Structure 1
Amino acid sequence: MSSSAPKKVVLAYSGGLDTSVILKWLEATYGCEVVTFTADLGQGAELEEARAKAEMLGIKDIYIEDLREEFVRDYVFPMMRANALYEGLYLLGTSIARPLIAKRQIEIARETGADAVCHGATGKGNDQVRFELSYYALEPDIKVIAPWREWDLNSRTKLIEFAEQHQIPVAKDKRGEAPFSVDANLLHTSSEGKALEDPAVEAEEFVYSRTGSPEAAPDTPQFIEIGFERGDAVSLDGKALSPAELLTALNELGRIHGIGRLDLVENRFVGMKSRGIYETPGGTILLAGHRGIEQITLDRGAAHLKDELMPRYAELIYNGLWFTPEREMLQAAIDHSQRHVEGTVRLKLYKGAVHIVGRSSPKSLYSLEHVTFEEDAVYDQRDAEGFIKLNALRLRLLARRGA
């Protein structure tokens, strides 16, 4: 593609200060037409306010789309089948949303004849990588504009000055330094920066917006049942729900019981460590339920191999490599393992924790006949002697040598 200035840009637009400034900066810097795209991923914001603000700023092509079902069905659920956790803890709530936003931006660029796309991610974080790797995987010749790597508006004060010069409304609570930044969608809320930058200091309670305090949670546990088919959750307490409906319901249960809080210092893809406060109430419950149903439906070899593959799979998502052959290859293996992962898991929610207390499946591999401590007619305990001796053979040879 030519290095000339873009004629039309699709901007990932939230309606907030940063992306509103970016909108006007694009027009002022490149003299281009701007198309705004705002995705409803369940972040809880009033998205019509984004439309009104874009209209006020003179935008003609405004896309606001409800992608909640697609987000959970095609991105969150495939990831949950893998039990994906980055660095053993993080449920990848921000990471998994970026490929979908990027995909839709590229589709809108094609629909509107735009020759460029733009995001509001900073030059220090992971999101710039996630957005841009996705853009290029889907449209290799697209022009990508990353204002935070180009402009000199490198402080909140300068952003506000630019906004006032271009008649961009600035909410009163945005004047001065925000205490921390927040990203949210149906899977999670993440908070980082400013008041949270010192990892030695405990985050204050006001940081948490999606979960109640575990200490203040009900003193009586709540029991729920999640139904699974082919590795995906399909029902809650016997009621069939769509993917987004089910995650929404689990989020509310997690909120009530203070489930899903995480204080994490993680290794960013760009090389630095960062501290984030994550809230993933429904996802934490869903992960526990999925592992519960896998316990009785997955063969040992398949289960252990999945656990070996999981860190690699999680790292691919974290690093923005969703639209890659390696992620698709791993996904195919994971999905194959889920063919018989069906049944019901019973969970206890109590004071910030989720406990598996029961599981049943028509495809269960659990055999009471074989495992019972009572008399049985299917397992000859004498067979274990030869099994043990064969496994011990190399150890005995080593010992005789004096290794």
Structure 2
Amino acid sequence: MEKYQLRSGFTTGTCAAAAAKAATAMLLAGNHLKHMKLVTPKGTEADLPLFHVVIKKQEASCAVQKDAGDDPDVTDKALVFAAVQYFDGDEAEALKTCYRYDGEGGSSPLFLTAGEGIGWVTRPGLSCPVGMPAINPVPRIMIFQSVEEARREAGYEGPLRISISMPEGKKLAEKTFNSKLGIEGGLSVLGTTGIVKPMSEEALTATIRLELHMKAVAGDKRVILTPGNYGEAFIKETLSLSMKEGVTCSNFIGDAFGMAGAEGFDKILFAGHIGKLIKVAGGVYNTHSKYGDRRMEILWDCVTAVRKDREELKLTILNANTMEEAAGILKEQGILEPVMEEAVHRIQNYTAQWSGGKRVEVVTFSTANGILGMSEGAEELIRLFAKGATHREITGG
């Protein structure tokens, strides 16, 4: 059977550039267009239909509908609008909220800003300056060059102002990491190749890397890492800590610790459900099931390190369906605590190696039994995180 090929789509940046090019052409020529072609940075030609075309004397606008292909992108099917108008304002004033592009061949500058649904940058560390629209460098160049091409074809050399908007952007942004990254008010205009590839491991690890980088740029020296939703809930409800201090690393445990070490975090709290963390105790770098499932074997190895005379338990543990069930068996045998102590010690050793020797404290838990194990310095580090949160609430820092 032929394997199904996932369909690629176009980035928000490509949609914005196509809409801006079309709006420019319609403003300068006065003709309605039904679609617009452009070539993405990757060399792929996009021929995108236009919606909501409006042409006025001083301004033209239109929209391109985002098509993310088979990628589960929250912006799929959202409309990306561009409005282009003749510019006769104060350039110095415009630069407070606009990016500038100096025209080619003696043409006047172009100015680019954001309208409804596009976020604004409030924290350093991103590829856009603080106080400016969250329109990343590659999409900015795409938009400017597309508008410049349309302006040149029309024989016009005067200045223009471009505004990109996404009416659904503010609502859609709630489903993204934007607020955690310091982007307020809407979505980012993203893209490096102009093409959306279906979600890959590279995309996920890039998100983790960016979150860690943002925290490092903000001056943080400690961070919480957790694999997923169970860990997040545990951190909030049981440890009474905020995930503002945390980064969710999914199955990319080893990668996340390597990134945290490279960013200079010197204290890392690693908290998660034993079903995930027991794999780390066996040195499993990526805990996705496609790389294998050795949970019970790793747990049994921890058991034998604690008690050599427990061979009769071997089949019971190895045949357990879940770590919750296995933990219950160990609890009945009265050896849950020392086995978890051994597992935590191993987790601590591996994660410290992956982070380049940083201080890592570990807390693991189960739904039925709560906290199962904590490394020796975990309580102290938890208090530091709690103290830091209290300080921020008082100072607003």
TM tier, smaller: under 0.3
TM-score by length of 2: 0.27
TM-score by length of 1: 0.26
Higher relative contact order (CA 8 A, sep 6+): 1
The structure with the largest alpha-carbon Rg is 2
